[in-house]
């Protein structure tokens, strides 16, 4: 769990190539993040970054509490592991835009805590 004083960073994956997240969910979550006050980083596709072993994944993984808006937890963890940038399971909340409604995903991203499960 992250401490209350340490606000988790947010990473938004557009899933540009895999097309596994519903377009309406991606659009709604991105709109919510863009209109909200929290800073966030956006990447085109974590799958592609992992395949290229993009060094930014190591920086992201080492950066402290993190919320990742993407797809299934196991897939995101594997992508980082495959890129030799394993995530700390205790300080990462993976928000599954594939299964959550846009409202549920936005609520999870807005929550101040980390829910590692």
Instruction: Tell which phi-psi region holds residue 22, choosing left (phi > 0), alpha (psi between -120 and 50) or beta.
Output: beta
pLDDT (tens digit per residue) in 56-109:
999 999 999 999 999 999 999 999 999 999 999 889 999 999 999 999 999 999
Alpha-carbon distances, residue 38 vs 73, 97, 111 (angstroms) = 22, 18, 11
Beta bridge partners of 96: 70
pLDDT value at position 37? 84
Cα–Cα dist 47/76, whole Å = 8
The ranges assigned to domains in the chain are: 9-110
CATH placement of domain 9-110:
3.40.50
């Amino acid at each position: 769990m992250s401490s209350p004083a340490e606000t988790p960073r947010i990473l938004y994956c557009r899933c540009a190539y895999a097309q596994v997240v519903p377009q309406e969910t991606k659009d709604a979550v991105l709109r919510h993040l863009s209109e909200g006050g929290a800073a966030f980083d956006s990447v085109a596709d974590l799958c592609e970054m992992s395949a290229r072993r993009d060094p930014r994944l190591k920086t992201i993984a080492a950066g402290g509490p993190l919320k990742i808006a993407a797809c299934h937890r196991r897939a995101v963890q594997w992508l980082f592991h495959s890129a030799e940038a394993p995530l700390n399971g205790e300080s990462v909340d993976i928000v599954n835009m594939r299964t959550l409604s846009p409202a549920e995903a936005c609520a999870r991203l807005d929550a101040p805590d980390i829910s590692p499960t």
